[in-house]
Structure 1
Amino acid sequence: MSPYVRRSADIDGDFVVFVLGMHVNRWTDVRAWLPVVRAMPKMLAELARQPELGLLKAHSGWMFGGPAVVQYWRSYEQLEAYSRSAQAEHLPAWRAFNRNARRHPDSVGIFHETYRLSAGRWETIYGAMPDIGLLAASRAVDLSSGSTSATRIGARTEDAAPVETP
């Protein structure tokens, strides 16, 4: 049996975490939410074909009652440039959503959260996990048995891992 492996993500410099999703408020109003659902795979495929645009990794799932995507970007400037590019999939989809939202108010909600993370101001741990999240967007490094959240994020230079009690 192999030992329990703990890993952390290792990424150079600053980066961005972008979380976005939708919540269907009226499932019967398919004309309002279906275009939103169809737009995201096109954008993700475009970004996968063009890594120079800055997307490091994206994970899709279900969050806050609807489909969502967590994206890791090399920089905020690249995220913003993509979102505003007339040659990219996003801007036409964004404009279409806004037109549709005026016709079908409150049928579908959208959200996004953008986090600019400075080098060394974050920490991760993945125990016996596949490459997901920031680990998949960066390099994986093995952690020592004494590695703690406080030492990984720089809150303390030394720390003791919790001791198991029988």
Structure 2
Amino acid sequence: MTKEILPGRYTAKLDDEIVVFIIGMRVNKWWAIHKWLPVFKAMPSMIRELYTNKEIGCLSMENFFGLRTTLMVQYWRSSEDLLAYAKGQKHLTAWKNFNKKIGNNDAVGIYHETYIVPKGNHESIYGNMPPFGLARATGRKIITPELNSASKRIRA
């Protein structure tokens, strides 16, 4: 299914703080499929939970897959929402399973980064794109002459 392309240039419509959460895994040893496949398979149920329960606070997400590394960028309403989800049942279960089955085994790596972006401390531009990234999470607005440079968008 192809997303509708929005012709022209637009920017994210964001009037509040937002939390950007990056999470993923890296396959370090391809032959140790019994170690990394369970980690990979733990994500779909959590993703489904976030998509179907918007009250949790995850606004949107984008997925990327490389040869060894997966990367997911999530946009959250607040750090409180993200931290509450981290303590929730599905995530805690996945985390406990990871530590029990993999722990410090170097066959698979996991990572996450959290960025709290205060209001007025972001900039974005999208040209001839489907709804994507921050604009998909928060909505979009057309770039007008008042917003036609990065410095103007940051100050807006």
Structure-1-length-normalised TM-score: 0.84
Give, in angstroms, the shift of residue 58 of structure 1. 1.0
Q: Which position in structure 1 is the counterpart of 2:123? A: 123
Q: Which runs of 4+ in 1 moved over 6 A?
A: none
Secondary structure at the residue paired with 1:128? strand
Q: How much has 1:47 moved relative to structure 2?
A: 0.9
Q: Name the counterpart of 2:3.
A: none
Give the distance between the partners of 1:15 and 1:26, measured in 2 at CA.
35
Structure 1 residue 62: deviation in Å? 2.0
Greater Rg by CA: 1
Partner of 1:148: 149
1:56 corresponds, among 42, 56, 59, to 59
- Residue type of the partner of 2:91? H
1:1-166 alignment to 2 at 5 Å? 5-62=8-65, 65-85=68-88, 88-102=89-103, 105-145=105-145, 147-154=148-155
- Contact 2:28/2:68 (CA < 8 Å) preserved in 1? no
Q: How many percent of aligned residue pairs carry the same amino acid? A: 40
- SS of 2:24's equivalent? strand
* Deviation for aligned residue 1:12: 2.6
Whole-angstrom distance in 2 between the partners of 1:76 and 1:54: 9
CA contact (8 A) 2:26 2:110 kept: yes
- The 1:64–1:119 alpha-carbon spacing in structure 2 relative to 1, beyond 3 Å, is farther
Q: Could you tell me how far apart the structure 1 residues matched to 2:64 and 2:73 are?
A: 8
- In the superposition, relative to structure 1, how do residues 130 and 51 fare at CA in structure 2: closer, same or farther (>3 Å)? same
RMSD of the alignment, in Å? 1.7
Deviations 1:65-118 (A, max 9, x none): 411210000001100100112xx311100111111223x610000111100000
Aligned length in residues:
149
Q: For 1:45 and 1:91, how far apart are their aligned partners in 2?
A: 16
Inter-partner Cα distance in structure 1 for 2:140 and 2:39 = 34
SS in 2 for 1:93: helix
Consecutive unaligned residues of structure 2, counting only runs of 5 or more, are: 1-6
CA contact (8 A) 2:17 2:118 kept: yes
**TM-score with structure 2 setting the length:** 0.89
**Highest relative contact order (Cα 8 Å, sep 6+), 1 or 2?**
2
Secondary structure of the corresponding residue to residue 129 of structure 2: coil
Give the Cα separation in 2 of the matches to 1:51 and 1:80: 15
